[in-house]
Structures are given as structure tokens and as C-alpha cells.
């Protein structure tokens, strides 16, 4: 497996990136809407999309946090289903993967 300190740094960087994304979305959503009803309808639709993106991002934040916990517990890179190692290629693509490719 790759250097654990490098993996930890990568996960922490990803966590900061995701938290910044959520903060930016929340800042945008907290700005008052336009007084024009047509423009306000468009903004409302945009806000619904941003709400969904925020929800997905918050879910990803939880996954990254869990990966950091697994790393600290010495369980990082181990499939939660079969217990075998998760392949390096999979962990490189999805560093917070909890399942090997066979169990995914």
C-alpha cells in the first residue's frame, strides 16, 4: 500500500475542498433573491440544484471523515464486506472506498 501519510494528506485535502464547496453553496443560498418574480423563479430552480449538490457533498464529507477514521484505526484499504485488501488503483480513484471492486 502507498505511504499512509500521503494518503492521509490527500484525504485531508479532499475534506478541506469539500468543506469549502459547502461553505460557498451556503453563502450563495443565504443571499437574498431578486425582486423580479421571473428572475426569482429561475433563482429558485438554481437553489434546488445547489441544495442537491450540497447534500451530495455533505455525504462525501462523511465518507472522507470515515476513511480518516479507518486510517487512524489501521483498517484503511480493507474491504468492509469480505475483509480483503482494496486495490491500489481503486483507492487512488476513490480514496474513501470501503469495498473492493468485487464487493462494490
pLDDT digits (tens, 9 = 90+) for 26-76: 998 887 765 555 556 566 677 888 999 999 999 999 999 999 999 999 999
The three grid cell numbers given for residue 11, joined into one nine-digit string: 484525504
What are the pLDDT digits (tens) for 14-30? 999 999 999 999 998 88
Confirm whether pTM is higher than 0.85: no
Task: Check if the beta carbon of residue 101 is closer than 8 Å to that of residue 90.
Answer: yes
How far are the Cα atoms of 9, 22, 34, 55, 64 from residue 59, in angstroms, in the given order? 20, 11, 30, 6, 9
Other Cβ atoms within 10 Å of 34 Cβ, number: 12
Q: Domain coordinates of the chain in residue numbers?
A: 4-76
Amino acid at each position: 500500500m502507498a505511504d499512509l501519510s500521503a494518503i492521509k494528506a490527500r484525504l485531508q485535502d479532499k475534506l478541506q475542498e469539500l468543506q469549502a464547496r459547502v461553505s460557498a453553496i451556503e453563502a450563495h443560498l443565504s443571499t437574498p433573491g431578486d425582486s423580479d418574480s421571473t428572475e426569482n423563479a429561475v433563482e429558485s430552480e438554481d437553489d434546488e440544484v445547489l441544495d442537491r449538490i450540497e447534500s451530495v457533498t455533505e455525504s462525501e464529507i462523511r465518507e472522507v471523515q470515515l476513511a480518516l477514521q479507518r486510517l487512524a484505526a489501521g483498517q484503511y484499504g480493507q474491504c468492509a464486506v469480505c475483509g480483503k485488501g482494496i486495490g491500489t488503483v481503486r483507492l487512488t480513484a476513490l480514496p474513501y472506498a470501503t469495498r473492493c471492486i468485487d464487493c462494490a
